[in-house]
Amino acid sequence: MNLAARLMQAAPDTIRCDAATHRAARSRLRFQDLPAIRVKGKAAPVEVYRPVEPARKSDGPGTMLGRGEERAALAERLRAL
């Protein structure tokens, strides 16, 4: 089981994320720092964050992170129109 699944188990009714996700998304989202938690499979407590709201108002559509194959398929379908 991966860390995301452990965080989901720890808080089934809300969104929680780890430090790596926090670092990757903090320019776009504001986060609430939560107390670190212990999860199975990790020796040390895991830093936990909760996304609260966008960091700033968007001027347009957001940037898609990853999903290269999906983006290519979408671009191909748009070209076919």
Predicted TM-score (pTM) of this structure: 0.63
pLDDT digits (tens, 9 = 90+) for 12-65: 888 899 999 999 998 889 999 999 999 888 889 999 999 998 777 655 666 667
Q: Which amino acid is it at 47?
A: E
Whether residue 31 lies inside any domain: the answer is yes
- Which long-range contacts does 38-45 make (Cβ < 8 Å, 24+ apart)? 39/3, 39/6, 39/7, 39/10, 40/1, 40/6, 41/1, 41/3, 41/6, 42/3, 42/6
Number of structural domains found in the chain: 1
- Quick count: other Cβ atoms within 10 Å of Cβ 10? 15
- SS3 state at 63: coil
Whether residue 45 lies inside any domain: the answer is yes
Whether residue 69 lies inside any domain: the answer is no
Segments forming the whole domain that contains residue 2: 1-55
pLDDT for res 79: 93
Whether residue 74 lies inside any domain: the answer is no
Whether residue 37 lies inside any domain: the answer is yes
